[in-house]
Structure 1
């Protein structure tokens, strides 16, 4: 059986809790209509959405599915997702600590993951196939210091830790969450290993966001490599990584380009080159088009056709990934980034990220 798996950072967030839900409620939100048109064009069987508000009842995610994906938009056929999983997120949850060191607590930068309200920038999975809810593993509470050889941020001149010991011992690794979500496809199971690491910018010389981004990605290397690792404890208290015979797909907006940008690139390069991971290198014709107005792209060394996000004056980057395990046969792959003369081009204005998809054969 062939299935199409996709990731899409849709940038559906607001300034206050509940704002996005109110925008979507009548099915007429212009941004969501464009997002739905992209989904209905690519038609993934399994879709990870980054940057959508979280509520315990998945209200916003269900509204997006019912009022947008499942209703024809811009002349396209609707697509139904009967199975939805909305993930809790560290974003906007006050840590009670002064994480940014300005002698004040309770700010967005003092949350376990940056956010002005709880659930901002979260994740949801939409699937045409059953989600094995009982066996979902989450690592929302996993401590950064528990990861062996964690990159603890330090002042580059004094080598003094950016986070004092009492803060470091409590810090969570995941800026949102790390998810292992099993999808049941006939007799086969595919584990979706989903995350959305913090951007490796918006910090200082200590590079605390760069360190965190690196280790949020490195977490998956440990999870894939170490099925018996006692230090990999999920939120239910169960230990260990993924079994060696498990089929999986690592996916999400990982906020890391292997060639360009300010991130610590070792982790993403190791993930892309891992022996159990395939990099289908999804491409698009639109990303590679020359843009005389954007001089930053001329300084980049990565293949522009692989780029998945347009960050304005900073240029284009490859930061969104769908990486199947070696046990899945890759049939096709792509990035929804139409060329300028394509009538579908206007749809991509809905987000600074592009949908990335991979089609695989499930044994």
Structure 2
């Protein structure tokens, strides 16, 4: 091949490589999801425009599930394990029944195991239950599917679950799911059961366990609150991002089982890749620097006032302020995607010109 042809082919190859290799997403280290326990055909959600990575469902209608997956949203099917295991007379038969359930639902991406907690099946039975759960998860993986475990923190790094749900993260509810009283969780309070991984806790000691066992990257925050309460959703989302959790979900007390899905503001916005963070146990603050700005939760004041006290400082903030003076509100739905796209297009052209000039100078006779 002569120098001229070599030069031409090289420029074409590099140009295509630059143009068609996309930049890394600024939100590539975090996913959004919800649990939806209503009928899928009643969700009233445009799944393709939802921004969700996956959904946990209780309705196993295959046609409706395929519509969701066609919208590029993964589907995990709900199954309660703890109570069904406790009531099963023959545990090996129970294991086989769960495996049969897995085999009959090859049209979902995975399974959500609820009630993974000795409180359902007894402390004396936990070792035997763990053996069954590990066998079931192995079977799921053989079918090229994944699992999410919801229970005590022990199961975040045992029995081969792919993901671990942190339920009631930063906010939960009292009363019934039909008539909930939402409240904020005191993240920084410590208890006498912090050292027992089989005990259910909901505080900084849980985060420390997940961090020490290197499973923050598979932990999914699951927060309860009024879907119309954007402040609560933003406050919880900031905490999930500062603490380095894999994903974030925000739902009502009934996981939308009795109502259509409403995505709170934090479910439709993002801070981008985490650059730095501070967990201040003394002053009870969670703060972080991200690709799209800075954010902070004042946990102490939130618990004291029973109202979300947080701040989000965007790189390009909206000029209109919110009603609460201690909180900086910005329109997180307006991102800089168009500006980023224009920048990368201009950068592509410039880089091609530079490479071409270098090659021409190198191979000029």
Query: Is TM (by shorter chain) over 0.5?
Result: no
Q: Larger Cα Rg: Structure 1 or Structure 2?
A: 2
Q: Which has a greater percent of helix?
A: 2
Quick one: higher RCO (CA 8 Å, sep 6+), 1 or 2? 1
